[in-house]
Structure 1
Amino acid sequence: MGSLLDKLGKLVKEDYNLERSMKRDIESFSEDLAKIHKDLPKLEKLDGLKIWVDEVRELSYNIEDMVDSFLLHVELDSSSSGFREFPREGLKFLENDMITHRPIGDVIRDIKNHVQAVADRQKKYNFSVNDVIADPTAKAPIDPRMAKYINKKQLVGIEAPTDELIRLFGEDGGVSKQELKIVSIVGLGGLGKTTLARAVYDKLKAQYHCRAFVSVGQNPDVKKVLMNILFALGKKFNDLDVLQLIEELQKLLEDRRYFIVIDDIWDSEAWDPIQSAFPENSLGSRVITTTRIHPVALATCSAKSKFVYRMKSLSPEDSRRLFLRRIFGSEEASPDTPREEEISVDILKKCGGMPLAIISIASLLAGEPASTWDYVRKTMGAMTDGDDVEKMKQILDLSYIHLPDHLKTCLLYVCMYPEDREIDKFDLLRQWVAEGFVITNGRLDAVDLAEKYFKELINMCMLEPGKIDDYNNEVLSCRVHDIILDLMRSKSSKENFIHVIDGSKDETGQIRRVAFHYNDKEDTGISGSINKGSLSHVRSVLLRRTSLVPRFQEFQYVRVLHLELELSSMDLVDLTGINRLFLLRYLKVAPLRPFGYSLKLPNKIGGLQQLETMDLDYASLEKYPSDIASLPWLSHLSSRANAEGGIALPDRIDRLTSLCTLEGVCIYRSSVENIKGLGKLTNLRKLAICSAKFRQTMEEEEEIMRVDALHSSICMLASNLRILTFGISSEVSMLDVGCWSSSSPFPQVSHIRELNLLCCEFEKCPEWIGQLHHLYKFLISVKEVADGFSIVARLPSLAYFKLVTFVKEEKEESVVIPGRGAFQALKHLIFHCEKVSLTFEEGAMPKLEKLDMQLRWDMTCEFLPVGIDHLQAGTLKEIWLRVHWHPSCPVEGSQDFDDDVCSAKCNDNCEHKEPVRRLLEGAFKPHHHTADISISFVDYCYVGDEFDEEDGDNELTSTDSSTSDEEDGDNESD
C-alpha cells in the first residue's frame, strides 16, 4: 500500500488541475488509507480478521490500478486547461472482460465510498491495534554491523565433513579406485547438504576434465537436468528428447574424467535416467548426490550403504561458534550479560544443531536487547519435537515476522521463480522497482535502494548468495533455500500475493501476480483451467510457455512481463501487440538456455511511457522500434549476445537521458550522428559495444568517423561511466582504435571500475590506463607487451587482469614483475602471450589466487615463467596452464580454418604431450603443491570474446587435459 499512498500524495500536490472537491475527496480517503496501512501489520495478527484484511488488500490493488490508469491519461498542464483524457469518454477500465469508460469524478467518489466502508467496518466491530499484544521484535531495525554477506571462509564445522567425504571417495568398498564412484549425502533439510557438496566440488573440480553442479528439486524434470549438465560442459542441445540427451552425454564423457554433483533428489525414479548418462569409463570419475530421503540415497550411491554419507547436526561447540560469529562477527565474542548467556544456551538447544535455524535466529537477535532474546526463546519451538521441517519453518517464520514490511514484500516476490533457481540480482532489483516495492526519498536511486534491500535480506539469511564477484565482493545472484521458499509460497498463497501455476491446484479468484512454472510440452490442459477474467488485473507475469505468449495482451495492468522460454533458432517470439500494455515497466525476453531466436517487436512503442527495462537476451534483432527514444523512464536497454552481432543505436538516442545501462549495440550499424548522441546520456553507468560482422564491408573513412565519434562520446560520459566493454566474435572484426593509444577517453579523475578492451586493436598498452585508480577489472589485447605491465602494475585497486597478444607472428619478449609496489591487489592474472617470458621477483603479486597462462607446445621450455617460487604458496590456489598444441593450425574464424583437420593434427601428436605435461608439473608442483593445477591442450587459439573460468563452470576445458594431482592414472582424492 506504500506505493499507492505515494501516488495519491503526488496526485494532490502536483498540478493536474483537478477540481477542489476532487482533491478534498482524495485527501480524505488518503488519510483513512494511511491509518489502515499503519495498523494493518498488527491487525492481521488478530483472529477472525482475515476477511477484512483481504478486503483491504484487494481494495488497495484496485485503487492503485485506477490511479495508474488516471495518471496514464493525464499530463501536467501549466495552461490551466485541465487534464487530458480520452475525449468525453472518461477513463478506460477493464471490468468483467469488457472495456468501460467512466468520468474521473465518478471514479474518485467510488474510491472514497469503498475506503469509507472498510473504515466503518473496523469501527463497527471495534477492533484496534490496542488488542494486539506487543511483539518486541516487530520494530527492530536491521543491524548496521551486518554490512556483508557470510562468505565461505566463515562457514563453521565444514572442514571435517569435507575431509571425510573426500576420504570416502578413496575407500574401496568393493569398487576399484578407477571405477565410477557415486557418493550420496543424506540428511534433513537445513543441515547443509548442498553447502557440503559445494565445498567438496570447489575443492576438487580442477582435478577433473569435465565437471558440473546441477539441481533436481521436488518436481523433477529429467530433460532439463540433462540439458543443464550438457550446458555446464559447454554443449548446447535444445531439440533433443531424453534418450538423445543421454546418448550425447555418454559420448561426451566416455573418454574423460568427470566430477558431477546432482543436488536435491527426491525421487529414485528420476535418478535412473540421469545415472544412465554417466559412463563407466574407469578413469576415476566421481558423482555426488544429495537428498533428504534415505531410500533415495541408497538407490543413487555405489555399493549400497558403503557410500552414503549421513549429515550430522553441528556439535554444541560448533553451534555456539556459528551463533556468536553471526551475531557479533567473531566467535571469540560472548553475550554481554549472564542473562543473555543463559538465554543463548536455551536457544541453541532448541535449534538442535541445525545450521539454517541457528543462522536465522542469530540474524534475528543481532543488535537486539535481552528482552527480545527472551521473547524469541519463549516463542521458539524445539527442533527435537515433532516434525523437524515444520519446526524449522516456525523458527524461520520468526525471522520473517521480524522483517520490515517492505522487506517482507520483496522476499515474497521470489516465489515468482522456480525451486532451485539461481536468481540474477539485477533482474530481481529491477522487478522490485517496477512493481513499486521501492519508494525513494530522493537521496537514493530506486535501484540503489533496492540493492540495499537485497543486501539486508542476504544478511538476514532469507536469501543465500549465489554467484559472487570475488574481486569486489559483490553478490551477483541469489538462491532461496527450499524450506524458506515453501514458507514464502504458503504465505503468498494466503495473502493472494503470487499464484504459481504448475497444475497442482485449480486457480480461482482475482490473480495479481502469476508464474507459469511449466513449458509447452508439460502442459496437459493446465492453461485451459485458468479463468480468463482472473488474469485481467495481473501485475507481474513469468511465462515459460511460448503458446501462452499471445495471451499477454489480456494483461492490461501488467507492470512486469518476464518471458523465460524454451526456444531454438527456428522459434519466433511475436511481441507486436506489446505496445498496448501502457503500464508496463519491465520487459525481459530470454531463452532458458543460450540459443538465438527470432524476435518481432512493434514498429512503434511510444505508448509504453512507463517502461524502465527492456532486456532482450540472444534475440535476432537488427533494430529497435523507431520511437523508442520517446520513452522518458527507460533506464536499462540490453540485447546481450545478439544473434545479429549487435543492434543499431536508435535514432535520437540523446533523448534517452534516463539510460543507466546500454548493452549490445553495434557502432558499425549505427549512424555517426547517433554515436555522437551517446555522449549526452550522462546517467549511463554501463556501456557494452559490439563491433562484429560489419567492419569488412565498410570504407575506411566511414570506420574512422565512427571510431572518432565513439571516442568523443566516451570522453563526455567518462566521469560517470563505471563499466565499458567491447565485444566481438572474431579477429577480422576487431576495432581499430589507433587514436585511443595516445588520447585517453577518461578524465584524470575517473570512476571506471571494469574495462574490457580485448576486442580493440592496440599496438601496446596505452599509458593513460595508469591513471584509472578505481579500476579493479581490466582486459586488453595488444600486439606488443612492451611496457604494458609496468603501466598496469601501478593500479592500486586492480584485482583481475587479462592480457592477450593477438598477432600470428608474436614478438619474443621478456617481462619482469617487481616484488614491491606492483600488483598489490591482484588476485587473478590471465596471461595469454605465448612468446613472452615472465619473471616474478621475490614478493611479486602477494595476493594472487589464480594464475592462467597460455603456452606454445614447441616453446614451452623457453617461455616457462622464472621465479614461480616467489608467488605466495599459501595464497595461490588455482593454476591453469593452456598449451596451444598445434601452432600451424589457422586461427578460428579465418578462411583456412578447418576444425576436423586441426583436431586430427593434434590427436596425431598425443604421444608428444606427456613430456610437455611432465615439464610443466615439474616447474609448478614443487612450489605450489597445495594449489589445483590444471594442464590443458587446446587445438587452436581463441581470439575475441573473453574465455573466463570464473564466469561459469565451463567445465569442458579442452581437447585433452590433466591435473597436477594425477600420477600413473591415480589421483590423491581417490
Structure 2
Amino acid sequence: MESAAKSIASKVGQVLVDELQDIRGVGNKVVHLRDELATMNAALRIISEADQDKVDHLVREWEKQVHDLAYDAEDCTDTYSLRIIRPSPPPPDDFAGNKLIFSWAGYLLGRAKRVARYPYEKLVLQRTLAADIKDLLARTTTISERRVRYGIDRAELPRAASFIPVSASSISASALRRAHNPDQFVGITDQVSALAVKIKAADQDEDDKSLKVFSIVGFGGLGKTTLAMEVCRQLDKEFPRQAMVSVSQAFAGEKDVKGLLVRVLQQILKEKQPNGKQTITEGEAMGTSTTQGNQLHVDRMDVDDLSKKIKELLKQTRCLIVVDDVWSLSSWEAIRGRLAENNCGSRIILTTRIDEVAKAASVSEYFVHHMKTLELEASQKLFVQRVFGSTDCPSELKVFMDTILKRCAGLPLAIVSIASLFGSYRSAEGIEMWERVSRSIGSQLENHPNLEGMRRLLALSYDYLPHHLKACMLYLSIFPEDYVIAKDRLLYRWIAEGLVTEKRGLTLLEVAEEYFNELISRNMIQLDKCLHMDFGLGEVEVEGCRVHDMILEVMVSKSQESNFVCLVGRQHGGMSHSRGKIRRLSIHDNNHDKKHHARHVIEAMKLQHVRSLTMFQSDGLGKLLDSLGEFKLLRVLDLNDCRALQNKHMRDVCRLYLLRFLSLRGTRISVMPRKVGNLEHLETLDIKNTGIGVGLPRTVAKLSKLECLRCSTWLLPRGLGNMKSLRILDTGILDGHNVQLVTQEIGKMAQLQEIRIIIESNFQTGEFIQESLPMLSTSLSKTSILRSLHLEWNPSPTESAINFEFLHGVNPPPPLLQRLSLIGRIIQLPAWISLLTHLTKFEVGWSQLAGDQLFGVLCKLPNLQTIQLGEYSYVGPKLVAHEDHSFPVLKILKVSLCPTMIIFEEGSMKKLETLAFVVDDMNMNVLGLENLENLKEVKIRGKDDNQAMKHAVVQLKTLSESKPIKVVVDELSYVPSF
C-alpha cells in the first residue's frame, strides 16, 4: 500500500526540485516534502509489517490519510507534467494544393504564438505548483502532529514474525500443481463415496426415472465445490454428459438465466472430460459451433429456446449437472424452472451455503448432504502434507500445530491457508513464528464458526503476507467473483500501477511473476486456465488464476476499508460508493433496481482522480465512455469486451498521456488514431479480436516503452526496431510490401521474448518474399532471450507454398526457446531444433515431413511435453514411434489429418498420458496403443458417419477393457483440427 508514497518521493526528487529551485523559498520546501514522504513511506511499511491485532482504528485512519497525501502529491506532479509536456496538435494532412499551404501556415502561426506565450504560462504553472507544494507540506506537518496528538506510537506496533520471501526458483512446478490440484484434497473420500452411493441408489427404482436434485450445503470453505467435482469424476461412466455452472451472489433476472443455460448447453454437447472440466469456447458462445449438422446460434436464442434445446438434446440421454454456489431460493427457482424433466434418470447436484435453499431444492432430507468438517486425523494429514510434504511434523512444533488445528475446527480452506504461512518455517528454528500464529488466530473458531469467523481466519493469511504482496493481493478485488484472470493481464496491470518493486538483475515482469508464484504457493490464489478466442488460432488456452470466493470477500472488505478500490455493481450493494477520492474504479454489473443502477451511482461520483478504470459491463454507461478524455490521470484503462465502446471514443483515449496499460480486447472498434503514438508511457496495448485488423497505425512503432503488443494482425512497419522495450509481439504481418524493410529490424529488438508472425503471399509476391526470408533467419539468430516463436504462412488460394527451409540458416538458435510453432512447408526440420533443451511445446503444420524427420529429431529433447501435428504435417503412409523414441517427459501428442497409420513400438513414448487425433474420410489405423505404458486418455474426433472413426472407436474400447484408459469420442458433422 505504500507504493504511492514511494513513487512520489522518487518523483519529487526527479522533477520538482529542478523545476522549482529558482522560485524563492520553494526549493527547500520541495526537499522537505520529499523527505517527509520518504519517512511516511517507512511508517506505512512498519504498519504493514506490524502484528495486525495491535493496529487499531486510529492507526488505520492515520494510514489512510498518509495514502491520500501521497496520491495527491503524485497527482499534483502528474498534472503539472501533463500541462508542460502535452504535445501540440499536428497540422492537418488531408488537404491538397493551396489548402495544404494555408493549413501549414495557420499551424505555424499558432505554434509561434504558443511559443511566445510559453515562458509566461510556464511561470504561472510553476507558481501554481509551488502553492500546491506548500499546501502538501502543511498537510504533512498536520498529519505528523496528529500522530503525536493521538498517541500513535511505533513502540506499540510490534512487528509480526518476519517472512522469508519465497523466490520463483524455490517454487517447483510440482508444488505449483499441488497447490491447485483437487486430487490432493485430503479428508473428503468418505463424503464422496456416501454421496455417490446415494445418487446410484436412486437408479434402483425402474419405475421412477424423474429428474432428482441432490444438495450439498455448508458454509464457505468446507469444500462443497470440490466434493461435487469428485462425485462427478466417480460417476463418469453413469453420466457421460455432464455440466458444471456457477451461480454466485449476483445472480438475478432473465439475463443471468440465459447465460447459465448457454453454459449448460455448451457442456452437455460434449462428453465428460477425464479432468472434470468442460471446454467453453467463445466461438460456441457466439453461435459458431456446429453439432449434428445444425448450427446453434445461441446468441439469438432466448431463455425459452435454450430450455427447449436442452430438453431436445437430453430426450434420450441422462446427464449430471452441478449448479454451484446458489445464494437464494429465488435464484434456484428461476434455474429449476428451465431445466426440464426428461425421465431418463438425470441428476442435479446443487451446492449452497443456505439451508433453506437446500431443503427447498431437494424433495427430502435424504437428498441433502450436509458438509462435515474434517476429523482431527484428516486435518493433521492435510496440514502436514501442505507444510512438510511427505515428512512428519517435528515434535517441537506439534503442540503449536494441534493448537492451530483446534482453532481451524476442521475447515479445509482454513487449514490450507494457515499451512501456507509456514512454507519457509519447517524446522524448529521457526518456533517463534509457529507460536505467534497459534496465539493470534483468536478464539472465534473454537465453537461453531460462522461466515464471519471464516472471514477473520482468512484475513489472517492476508495479514501475514509480506508487505510487497499485500497491495497485489488487494488489487484482485477489482475482478468479479468466479472470474478467471489471465496471468499476463494481471502482471502488466500490477506493473502499470507501480505495485512491483525493482530488483537487481531482474526485469519488472520477472519480479511480477515472482509475486504471482508466491501468491500461488501461499494458496491465496489458484492456478486456472483462461480461454481466449483468437481470430487466427481459434480457441487459445492461456495461464490464469482465480481467487476463492471467501478470500475475495476478505479482499473486497479490506480494499474498501482503505479506499483502495471503488466497486460498482449489484454484487456490492450499498458499499459500492467509496468515501473520499476515488483512485481505482471497477464496474462489475448493473443493478436492475433503478435506484442502485450503476449509471446513477457513477454520476454521483467525482472521478477526476481515477488512475485505474476497469469495466466488466457497459450497459447504460455511454455517458461515462463519452467522458473518457476527462480522466487525465488514468494509468490503467481495461475495457475488455466492452461492447459499447465506439470509434468516436478513441480520440479521447489517445489523449490519456499517462496511460501505461490499455486493453480494448473484444470491443467493436475498427479504427485506431495515429495519435496513439503520443502515449509515450504506454507499456501494454491489447487490441485482440477487434475490427482494427492491419490498420494499426505506424505511429505505434514510436512507443519506446511498449513491452506487450497483442493484436489480431498488424502490417509491421518500418521503424519496428526502435521498439527496444518490446517483449511480446502478437501478431505481425509480413508481405511483399514490408518483408525487406522489417525482417532485419526484428533482430534489433533485444528484449523480444514472444513473437507471432504471419507471412502473407500471393501469385505476384511469393517469389520475392521467398528470396527475402533469409534475412529473417539472420534476425532470429540475434533474439537471444526469445521464449516463443510462431511462424505461419497464409497464402492466397492460387499461391504455391512458401518454403520454410530458410530456417536452416538460424545460427545460433534462440537458446531459451520454450514454444515453437511452424505452420508452413519445411520437408526437413533444422538440425538446431535438437539443441533446444528448454523446448516444452512443438507444433507443425503443412510441413510435409516424412520418414524419421519428426520423432527422430524431437525424441531426445529433455523438456518436451507436447507435440501437435497439424494438417499435412506428415506425408508418409505411416508414422512410427520406434523403441528409441522414448521422449523423456512427453505427455501429450495431438495428430490431425495426416498419416493413415500410426504405430507405437514397445518402449516408445514411455511418459505419454494423452493421445488425441482427428480422422477424415480416409481409413486410419492406430497400432501399438498397448505399448504406451502410461497412457491414460485417448481423444478421437471425426465425422459421425465415418467408418474409419467407428473402427478406431471399437479398437480403443476393446483396449480400454484390459487397460484403464479414458476414451473420449467427439462426433461432428465436419472435421476441424485441434
Whether these two folds match at TM > 0.5 is yes
Structure-2 separation of matches of 1:115 and 1:733? 72
Residue of structure 2 aligned with 1:479, choices 546, 568, 585: 546
Residue of structure 2 aligned with 1:55, choices 39, 61, 65: 65
Q: For residue 189 of structure 1, give the secondary structure of its aligned residue in structure 2.
A: coil
Q: How far does residue 613 in structure 1 lie from its aligned partner after superposition?
A: 0.5
- Contact 1:206–1:934 (CA under 8 A) maintained in structure 2: no
- Verify: 1:499 aligned to 2:566, yes or no: yes
Instruction: State the partner residue of 1:120.
Output: 145
User: Which letter maps to 1:32?
Assistant: E
Q: How far does residue 62 in structure 1 lie from its aligned partner after superposition?
A: 0.4
Structure-1 separation of matches of 2:209 and 2:436? 56
Instruction: State the partner residue of 1:777.
Output: 841
Structure-2 separation of matches of 1:197 and 1:746? 53
- Verify: 1:222 aligned to 2:257, yes or no: yes
- Contact 2:84–2:122 (CA under 8 A) maintained in structure 1: no
Instruction: State the partner residue of 1:314.
Output: 374
Residue of structure 2 aligned with 1:295, choices 341, 353, 356: 356
Q: Which has the higher contact order (CA 8 A, sep 6+)?
A: 1
Q: How far does residue 304 in structure 1 lie from its aligned partner after superposition?
A: 4.2
Residue of structure 2 aligned with 1:882, choices 937, 941, 947: 941
- Contact 1:254–1:280 (CA under 8 A) maintained in structure 2: no
Q: How far does residue 386 in structure 1 lie from its aligned partner after superposition?
A: 5.1
Structure 1 residues 745 and 202: alpha-carbon distance in aligned structure 2, compared to 1, 3 A threshold: farther
Q: For residue 679 of structure 2, give the secondary structure of its aligned residue in structure 1.
A: coil
Instruction: State the partner residue of 1:714.
Output: 780
Instruction: State the partner residue of 1:825.
Output: 889
Instruction: State the partner residue of 1:464.
Output: 526
Q: For residue 725 of structure 2, give the secondary structure of its aligned residue in structure 1.
A: coil
* Larger displacement relative to structure 2 (277-286 or 479-488): 277-286
- Verify: 1:372 aligned to 2:433, yes or no: yes
User: Which letter maps to 2:406?
Assistant: K
Structure-1 separation of matches of 2:384 and 2:196? 29
Instruction: State the partner residue of 2:649.
Output: 574
Q: How far does residue 404 in structure 1 lie from its aligned partner after superposition?
A: 2.1
Structure-1 separation of matches of 2:806 and 2:209? 54
Q: How far does residue 611 in structure 1 lie from its aligned partner after superposition?
A: 0.7
What are the Cα deviations for residues 221-242 of structure 1, in whole angstroms up to 9, with x where unaligned? 3233234445527342445543
Q: How far does residue 459 in structure 1 lie from its aligned partner after superposition?
A: 1.6
User: Which letter maps to 1:65?
Assistant: D
What are the Cα deviations for residues 612-632 of structure 1, in whole angstroms up to 9, with x where unaligned? 111113101132234222222
Q: For residue 131 of structure 2, give the secondary structure of its aligned residue in structure 1.
A: helix
Residue of structure 2 aligned with 1:920, choices 934, 956, 969: 956
Structure 1 residues 186 and 737: alpha-carbon distance in aligned structure 2, compared to 1, 3 A threshold: farther
- Contact 1:737–1:760 (CA under 8 A) maintained in structure 2: yes
Instruction: State the partner residue of 2:971.
Output: 937
Structure-1 separation of matches of 2:307 and 2:222? 32
Structure-2 separation of matches of 1:434 and 1:85? 34
What are the Cα deviations for residues 774-823 of structure 1, in whole angstroms up to 9, with x where unaligned? 2110111232432122112122211001123428xx85523332334631
Q: Where does 1:768-807 land on structure 2 (aligned, <5 Å)? A: 768-781=832-845, 782-787=847-852, 788-806=854-872
Q: Where does 1:677-756 land on structure 2 (aligned, <5 Å)? A: 677-691=745-759, 695-696=761-762, 699-704=765-770, 707-717=773-783, 719-726=784-791, 732=797, 736-740=801-805, 743-745=808-810, 747-748=812-813, 750-756=815-821
Structure-2 separation of matches of 1:468 and 1:210? 23
Instruction: State the partner residue of 1:95.
Output: none
Residue of structure 2 aligned with 1:599, choices 670, 677, 693: 670
Structure 1 residues 771 and 836: alpha-carbon distance in aligned structure 2, compared to 1, 3 A threshold: farther
Structure 1 residues 225 and 387: alpha-carbon distance in aligned structure 2, compared to 1, 3 A threshold: same
Q: How far does residue 18 in structure 1 lie from its aligned partner after superposition?
A: 5.5
- Verify: 1:194 aligned to 2:254, yes or no: no
- Contact 2:719–2:745 (CA under 8 A) maintained in structure 1: yes
Q: For residue 745 of structure 2, give the secondary structure of its aligned residue in structure 1.
A: helix
Q: How far does residue 751 in structure 1 lie from its aligned partner after superposition?
A: 1.2
Q: How far does residue 913 in structure 1 lie from its aligned partner after superposition?
A: 7.2
Q: For residue 264 of structure 1, give the secondary structure of its aligned residue in structure 2.
A: strand
Q: For residue 682 of structure 1, give the secondary structure of its aligned residue in structure 2.
A: coil
Q: How far does residue 188 in structure 1 lie from its aligned partner after superposition?
A: 1.7
Q: For residue 619 of structure 1, give the secondary structure of its aligned residue in structure 2.
A: coil
Aligned-residue sequence identity (percent) comes to 29
- Verify: 1:154 aligned to 2:184, yes or no: yes
- Verify: 1:38 aligned to 2:52, yes or no: no
Structure-1 separation of matches of 2:700 and 2:203? 65
Structure 1 residues 850 and 315: alpha-carbon distance in aligned structure 2, compared to 1, 3 A threshold: same
- Verify: 1:131 aligned to 2:190, yes or no: no
Q: How far does residue 932 in structure 1 lie from its aligned partner after superposition?
A: 1.2
User: Which letter maps to 1:117?
Assistant: T
User: Which letter maps to 1:438?
Assistant: V
Structure-2 separation of matches of 1:121 and 1:85? 44
What are the Cα deviations for residues 887-914 of structure 1, in whole angstroms up to 9, with x where unaligned? xxxxxxxxxxxxxxxxxxx4xx79x976
Q: How far does residue 354 in structure 1 lie from its aligned partner after superposition?
A: 0.5
Residue of structure 1 aligned with 2:618, choices 512, 530, 545: 545
Q: For residue 487 of structure 1, give the secondary structure of its aligned residue in structure 2.
A: helix
Instruction: List gaps (5 residues or longer) in structure 1.
Output: 76-82, 93-99, 886-905, 948-974
- Contact 2:733–2:758 (CA under 8 A) maintained in structure 1: yes
Structure-2 separation of matches of 1:248 and 1:101? 68
Residue of structure 2 aligned with 1:141, choices 164, 178, 182: 164
- Contact 2:900–2:923 (CA under 8 A) maintained in structure 1: no
Q: For residue 810 of structure 2, give the secondary structure of its aligned residue in structure 1.
A: coil
Structure-2 separation of matches of 1:437 and 1:85? 39
Structure-1 separation of matches of 2:149 and 2:356? 57
Structure-2 separation of matches of 1:742 and 1:599? 35
User: Which letter maps to 1:754?
Assistant: R
- Contact 2:803–2:826 (CA under 8 A) maintained in structure 1: yes
Q: For residue 677 of structure 2, give the secondary structure of its aligned residue in structure 1.
A: coil
Structure 1 residues 742 and 397: alpha-carbon distance in aligned structure 2, compared to 1, 3 A threshold: closer
What are the Cα deviations for residues 188-245 of structure 1, in whole angstroms up to 9, with x where unaligned? 2101112233344456669876554332101113233234445527342445543344
- Verify: 1:633 aligned to 2:705, yes or no: yes
User: Which letter maps to 1:681?
Assistant: M
Q: Where does 1:431-442 land on structure 2 (aligned, <5 Å)? A: 431-442=493-504
Residue of structure 1 aligned with 2:384, choices 324, 340, 344: 324
Instruction: List gaps (5 residues or longer) in structure 2.
Output: 48-53, 86-114, 267-279, 287-297, 532-540
Instruction: State the partner residue of 1:88.
Output: 120
What are the Cα deviations for residues 388-410 of structure 1, in whole angstroms up to 9, with x where unaligned? 21111121122211112221111
Structure-1 separation of matches of 2:907 and 2:717? 51
Q: For residue 808 of structure 2, give the secondary structure of its aligned residue in structure 1.
A: coil
Structure-2 separation of matches of 1:571 and 1:171? 56
Instruction: State the partner residue of 1:901.
Output: none
Residue of structure 2 aligned with 1:425, choices 475, 487, 491: 487
Q: For residue 933 of structure 1, give the secondary structure of its aligned residue in structure 2.
A: strand
Q: How far does residue 360 in structure 1 lie from its aligned partner after superposition?
A: 1.5
Instruction: State the partner residue of 2:33.
Output: 29
Structure-1 separation of matches of 2:842 and 2:778? 21
Q: For residue 606 of structure 1, give the secondary structure of its aligned residue in structure 2.
A: helix
Q: How far does residue 357 in structure 1 lie from its aligned partner after superposition?
A: 0.9
Q: How far does residue 258 in structure 1 lie from its aligned partner after superposition?
A: 4.6
User: Which letter maps to 1:421?
Assistant: Y
Structure-2 separation of matches of 1:475 and 1:857? 32
Structure 1 residues 222 and 856: alpha-carbon distance in aligned structure 2, compared to 1, 3 A threshold: closer
TM-score (norm 1): 0.82
Residue of structure 1 aligned with 2:587, choices 477, 498, 516: 516
Q: How far does residue 155 in structure 1 lie from its aligned partner after superposition?
A: 2.4
Q: How far does residue 417 in structure 1 lie from its aligned partner after superposition?
A: 0.6
Structure-2 separation of matches of 1:418 and 1:667? 39
Structure-2 separation of matches of 1:115 and 1:84? 38
* Larger displacement relative to structure 2 (786-795 or 65-74): 65-74
Structure 1 residues 164 and 679: alpha-carbon distance in aligned structure 2, compared to 1, 3 A threshold: farther
Structure-2 separation of matches of 1:306 and 1:716? 68
- Verify: 1:658 aligned to 2:729, yes or no: no
Alpha carbon RMSD of aligned pairs, Å?
3.6
Structure-1 separation of matches of 2:756 and 2:807? 22
Structure 1 residues 938 and 33: alpha-carbon distance in aligned structure 2, compared to 1, 3 A threshold: same
